[in-house]
Structure 1
Amino acid sequence: MAYRRTAAVQARLDASRREILKAAITLLTEHGYAGCSVAAVAARAGVATGTVYRHFPDKATLLTEVFRTAATREISAVAAAARRPASIPDKITAVIDTFAGRAFKSPRLAYALLAEPVDPAVDAERLVFRRAYRDLVAATVADGVTHGVLPPQNPGVTAAALVGAIAETLVAPLAAGSPEPDTIPALITFTLRAIGATDAADA
């Protein structure tokens, strides 16, 4: 007869896994991927190294899940900003302000999520979440075009270009840990001009 875990045993396993992920995200926030060795994660979580491997068969699997967890939290915050009742330019402004503002509040984590060299499996997840950001921006741009607030354009191409430009703009200051004070306002101005929001306002 196959062994079935009881609800209590499963709950303990789930709690252990959550603590391991929490410890790994804390280390990622403090030291980047270089500080997320399995031994370091185990020590921070207060468990044996073998316990980490019980949940994650190798470091790449652990880091992929860490990235997915941290990135999901960030994109959820940006998505919430995009859903607020506001004009299209204000929605775009809120998206950039939220994305860049959160990045500058936690620069080491943001650099790890955006650009730090990682295992190919984590890099693949990075592409998934970059597309998610693109789709968020594209939906907002498409809404603006539909309602005549923005000029006709390909929302997907516009959004992909913007997400790439914004990420590239943030990488250097995040790596240095010293963002320029006008970076976010400059990004907002650039983005509104790029999507034609300022031209529409002038018209």
Structure 2
Amino acid sequence: MQVAISRRDKKDATRRKLVSAGAKIFAADGVQGARIADIAREAGVAMGTLYTHFADKEALFVEVMRAGKQSVLEGLALSREAAETREGRDRAAMEGVVAFAEVYGPLFRLLLSRGAGDSIQREVVDAITDLRVAELVEGQAQGWARADLDPRAAARCEVGAVFHLLDWWIDNPDAFTPAQLVDQLCTVRRFGVEGAGPLIDAGDGLPTPPAAGSIAQ
């Protein structure tokens, strides 16, 4: 029995190494440019070993994307559970996303690129967006999210803005420290770019921008 468990553990460990290696090679070379030989070499296994776990590189790519999706969504869920205030949840979520982009920049781009013909990439972005839609619907019911926003449109605007800023920052890391980037992301999320800043107390001790039309143009 101990031998069987040991073999299963070894097999699982090899699979994890292949997924990790695949993430690195796919992120660097793209799905079309990635070569099985390079992935196997990065994982430290023979090509034949790779094929005992995955039928082809496309199957490995699916596993890489789903593992990345799970990692991102679990991180966002943990940030929501760990913080007691809305502001704390926002900051924890942004800290997690920035940290992920900082450490796994190429994989972050691969996950969030939402390739027009790639259902897996669309699945990752859609899952992240759905989380924010649910938060905004809850916010409208509680009064802290603007009633004149469509949660679906607003969530996609937010996810797109976060991705594009981090995509730029990966190539320009000296422009902001991670903490400064988190500050900017949280400020834009809470107040937008044309709001008058904190004017209204939403009842949770945190400032909220005024509703549309409440400021003289």
Residue 187 of structure 1 deviates from its aligned partner by 1.9
Q: Give the distance between the partners of 1:95 and 1:8, measured in 2 at CA.
A: 37
Q: Residue 113 of structure 1 aligns with which residue?
A: 111
Q: Give the distance between the partners of 2:110 and 2:58, measured in 1 at CA.
A: 14
Q: Give the distance between the partners of 2:199 and 2:134, measured in 1 at CA.
A: 20
Conserved? CA contact 2:76–2:93, under 8 Å: yes
The residue type equivalent to 1:172 in the other structure is W
Whether 1:145 aligns to 2:143 is no
Q: 1:124 to 1:199 in 2, by over 3 A?
A: farther
79-88 vs 160-169, which deviates more? Answer: 79-88
Conserved? CA contact 1:78–1:98, under 8 Å: yes
The residue type equivalent to 1:83 in the other structure is E
Q: Give the distance between the partners of 1:71 and 1:169, measured in 2 at CA.
A: 19
Q: Give the distance between the partners of 2:44 and 2:82, measured in 1 at CA.
A: 40
Q: Residue 3 of structure 1 aligns with which residue?
A: none
Q: Give the distance between the partners of 1:125 and 1:48, measured in 2 at CA.
A: 27
Higher RCO (CA < 8 A, seq sep 6+): 1
Residue 110 of structure 1 deviates from its aligned partner by 1.8
Q: Give the % identical residues.
A: 24
3-state SS of 1:65 partner: helix
> 149, 173, 180: which one pairs with 2:175?
180
Across the two proteins, how many residue pairs are aligned to each other? 192
Q: 1:92 to 1:185 in 2, by over 3 A?
A: same
3-state SS of 2:145 partner: coil
Conserved? CA contact 1:114–1:167, under 8 Å: yes
Residue 183 of structure 1 deviates from its aligned partner by 3.2
The residue type equivalent to 2:140 in the other structure is V
Gaps of 5+ in 2: 201-206, 211-217
TM score, norm. by length of structure 1: 0.76
Q: Give the distance between the partners of 1:177 and 1:49, measured in 2 at CA.
A: 36
The residue type equivalent to 1:160 in the other structure is R
**CA deviations over 1:166-188 (Å, ceiling 9, x no partner):** 112222222x2525214332222
Structure with the bigger percentage of helix: 1
Whether 1:126 aligns to 2:121 is yes
9-18 vs 52-61, which deviates more? Answer: 9-18
Q: Residue 18 of structure 2 aligns with which residue?
A: 20
Gaps of 5+ in 1: 1-5
Q: Give the distance between the partners of 1:111 and 1:198, measured in 2 at CA.
A: 33
Q: Residue 162 of structure 1 aligns with which residue?
A: 158
TM score, norm. by length of structure 2: 0.72
Q: 1:9 to 1:177 in 2, by over 3 A?
A: same
Residue 198 of structure 1 deviates from its aligned partner by 4.3
> Over the residues paired in the alignment, what is the CA RMSD in angstroms?
3.1
Residue 139 of structure 1 deviates from its aligned partner by 2.0
